[in-house]
Amino acid sequence: MQRRTHPAYIKIARVKRNLLTARVVSAALAALLTIFSFSATTIATAQETYPSRPITIVVPSPAGNVNDAVARLIGQELTKVWNQPIVIENKAGAGTTTGTNYVARGPKDGYTVLLTFTAHVQNPSLYSALGYDPIKDFEPVSEVAASSVILAVSPDYPYKTLPEIVKQIKASSTPVPYGSYGNGTTGHLMGELFVREAGLNMDHVAYKGGAPLATDLAAGHVKIGFIAVGTAMPLLSAKKIIPVAIAGEKRSDLMPEVPTFLELGYKGFEPEAWMGLLFPAGVPKERVAALSKEVARIVRIPEIDKRMRELNLVPIGNTPEQFAKVIQDDYQKWAAIIKQAGIKLD
């Protein structure tokens, strides 16, 4: 009797076929269950009324600063219209990268959003390893507000215009110090850009924040500084600090009397400081659109507009597409500035 026709062989072959069939069926069922589960989750997410639970706004800087204040203003208004709690969570550290990393790795469901600022597009050029991509790993929602950095001088400093300041520094036999509100900040970057563009010999003095810089400028301990308008405004209004030039493509609504660097013949100072909301990449588009629409509405409420201007911010409230362009353009501009200045923070 041949081996393939032997009853024992036939029985073994039948068992193998049955096992193979069972495995194929099992694999097919598993695949179907996976597809069904994914589809069901997708459908459930799409059909869920948004928002149906609390939303967390992560601020990558300490509580009590202007970013925190704006987050709370927006949160209060969102709670009114959406009837859901808005939780403000401060995750400061490592030049905003701690909180930014947290959001980048967070859920993509539209319930965790980052309220960040210009450092978001500067940090990739300042740090070797961030752990995230500021463009690819985030979904722009809306630019909330804009501000500016100014070059200001002490009231006892005899030179009050940019041409006079440049002439005096060039005539100095020793480096002239200038202050900023910290290493790697927009003030520092603007200062280094000014030094390079004007061909000056200056030494950078890094303060631990804008407040101590403003105090020293007013007292004359440092004669020249690059400082945020919002921080300096009380002393500017009291004429204890004198503004000389402001960054931006056009004059600021907050200080229309102050000329821009561009007007005075210096290019590269066009990027403004901004503050905006970002979701982690992957959040459903309709949820991005829903939050963007509300932010645009909120910043146009007269009381909110007034409060933001009191914080020395210009309300914006643009679309995700418009904010995405701001981020992309500023990312490239700051990368070029930082590379040319040779600044690294690690």
Measured CA angle at 79 (ends 101, 277), to 5 deg: 30
Three-state secondary-structure class, residue 312: coil
pLDDT in tens, 155-190: 999 999 999 999 999 999 999 999 999 999 999 999
Q: Which two tokens stand for residue 314?
A: 């210009």
How far apart (Å, rounded) are the C-alpha atoms in residues 58 and 56? Answer: 6
Backbone angles phi, psi at 157, to 5 degrees: -75, 125
* Per-residue pLDDT, 23: 54
* Per-residue pLDDT, 38: 41
Which residue's entry shows tokens 């500035």? Answer: 337
- Which range has the worst mean pLDDT, 42-56, 109-123, 220-234, 260-274? 42-56
Measured CA angle at 207 (ends 234, 202), to 5 deg: 105
Indicate the pairing of strand 273-280 with strand 112-117: antiparallel
* Per-residue pLDDT, 28: 46
